[in-house]
Amino acid sequence: MCEAVVQRFPYLLHTVVLAIAGLINGMSSVNAQQNLPACQPPNAGEYLLLIVSPTAENQKQLRNALPTELKSTTCQYLSDTVTRIGGFNKIDDAQRWARYINNIVGLSGIITTKPADVQAPQAVSFKPQALGEGYAVLVDYFNRPELASDVEKVVEGDIGFASYGQRPYLLAVYTTNQKEAHNTLKKLNERGFVAYLVDSRKVTLLRSNVR
């Protein structure tokens, strides 16, 4: 009777085999995502674009959208799986590609750079002058100052007005804590703001409070 069942329903065995193979492939994919290497930090003077791409489909979409001259790798950034795109010498170039990817693929990006080395840490000071050592999270407000109140709600605190690369930005956070800066950046990007993480020593504070 067993032989009769096999002969009558041969496709069942084929289906089971395919299901098991699919399960194994899925588990392998999950394990591969979990075992990703940590992202390499940017070089001095380099702007790094990190595109949050947690799934294999996201990564495939990115590969199809990016030109071959842009070298990208998949890696782990804090708790996120991202596609790392480096080699930008100007923040404007990184911003342009971040907007392009968001428009074409719908994925958000994080721009980060390496703070310059200093001999000794400096105290956080919100005076109309260049900021000290640490990280600054800037928000492009596109000449819409009314966005300041929305940014304040996200960061749950006062924000400033700053200049970076001869362009004005809202200063969401200035801190020496790398994790705090990254978490704030991620939160702002998730809320739809165009935010960047930069070397705070290259930022000039114009006003410590926009109000």
Residue spans per domain, the chain: 2-28, 47-113, 135-207
Task: For residue 130, give the nearest of 140, 145, 115, 142 by alpha carbon.
Answer: 115
Domains 47-113 and 135-207 share a fold: yes
> Given this model, what pLDDT does residue 77 score?
82
Q: Residue 77: helix, strand or coil by DSSP?
A: strand
* DSSP conformational letter for 190: H
- Identify which has the larger pLDDT, 174 or 90: 174
Q: List, for residues 38-90, the tens digit of each pLDDT value.
A: 888 888 888 888 888 989 999 999 989 999 888 889 998 877 888 999 888 88
161: which residues sit within 8 A by CB, 6+ positions away? 168, 169, 170, 171, 205, 206, 207, 210
Res. 180: pLDDT tops 80: yes
> Given this model, what pLDDT does residue 84 score?
93
Whole-model pTM: value is 0.54
CATH code that applies to domain 135-207: 3.30.70
